[in-house]
A = this chain, B = another copy of it.
Amino acid sequence: MSRSSAPPVRLLGGGDAVLAFDIGGTHIKSTAVDRDGRIDAVRRTPTPRGAEAVVATIAELARAHGGRDGFALRLRSVGVGVPGLVDESSGVVRYASNLGWQDVPLRQLLEDELGLPVAVRHDVRAAALAESRIGAAYGHASAVVVAIGTGVCGALVIDGVPYSGGGYAGEIGHAVADPAGERCPCGAVGCLETIASASSIVRRYAAASGHPVRGAREVLDAAQRGDRLAAAVWADAVTALAQGIARLVAAFAPHAIVVGGGLAQAGEALIGPLRSQLDQLLSFHRRPFVLSARCGEDAGVVGAAITARDHLRVLRAVADDPR
């Protein structure tokens, strides 16, 4: 489930030329966007250990992306997606277990290194921004983007802007799904992630069947061949996701639910049952469209590019304001 089923959208529209990075636990994805909105080929570079080494790698990548066309790109700003607990207003990564980071002032470090304005955004909120502006949620005034992979994470997008909640919002994978369930590594009990993430599906099927599997896709395939244990594990995941989404619908009433991440590669085998269970769970609530993510695995880095452009607009608006 590592490749996207839908091709990433390649054209962002006219605007500033920017650099974009998506810092993951294993790879840094990087690209540049020119003034016509053309997105350069996305590079993948192994993520080095430590924030200083990451900053140095990003500086090299910046030269590589910006240098190819010499000064023609006229890069104006940089957007960075990063996992963990990210305070987007200060650009500080409070905690990122994948990276082993704590209280890293990423924006400041990168601005000092690159000499360009830098905006930092949580990676799932960056991906959600891409889905909202040019992907599945395009045209919907509000959306919840649910990324299901190793974990389960969400992003609420209101009027085209991901809601950050000081970095704490969108943690729907760590909302209680089964109060009598297992303890989550986060410390809480019965988190949605312990039932519905791709890795939990793998783990739960292996524990129930005694057969280790490599990925959630294998569990789905087994379920579709009539393996009852696999079907039960898959059904538990879909039910927990549907209930979690139904609760978001009650509280927040998004126009669209966009399902992405590795597990979404299952396509209609996931989206179909999810849609019909959600329909059963709702009554007078506003029924959202339930859609597959469209920006693929590069959604995060594309969202980082949009973040970089949005940041410039804010900087200019502040500079222009006569007050």
| Complex Cα spacing A281 to B172, Å | 14
The secondary structure that dominates the A interface is mixed
Contact between chains at B156 and A251 (CB < 8 Å): yes
Task: Identify which of residues 185-209 in chain A touch chain B, using a CB-to-CB cut-off of 8 Å.
Answer: 186-189
Closest Cβ of chain B to A149, distance in Å, is: 18
A71 at the interface (CB under 8 A from B): no
**Which residues of the partner chain B approach A223 to less than 8 Å between Cβ atoms?**
none
Quick one: CB contact mask for A147-185 with B, threshold 8 Å, 1 for yes? 000000010101000010110111110111001000010
A142-B165, A246-B176 as given contacts; A251 in contact with B170, CB under 8 Å: yes
Contact between chains at B187 and A252 (CB < 8 Å): no
A283 at the interface (CB under 8 A from B): yes
| Total copies of the chain | 2
Closest Cβ of chain B to A112, distance in Å, is: 29
Contact between chains at A154 and B251 (CB < 8 Å): yes
**Which residues of the partner chain B approach A12 to less than 8 Å between Cβ atoms?**
none
A142-B165, A175-B246, A176-B246 as given contacts; A184 in contact with B283, CB under 8 Å: yes
- Pick from B174, B252, B253: contact of A283, CB under 8 Å: B174
Contact between chains at B175 and A252 (CB < 8 Å): no
A156-B252, A251-B156, A251-B171 as given contacts; A286 in contact with B166, CB under 8 Å: yes
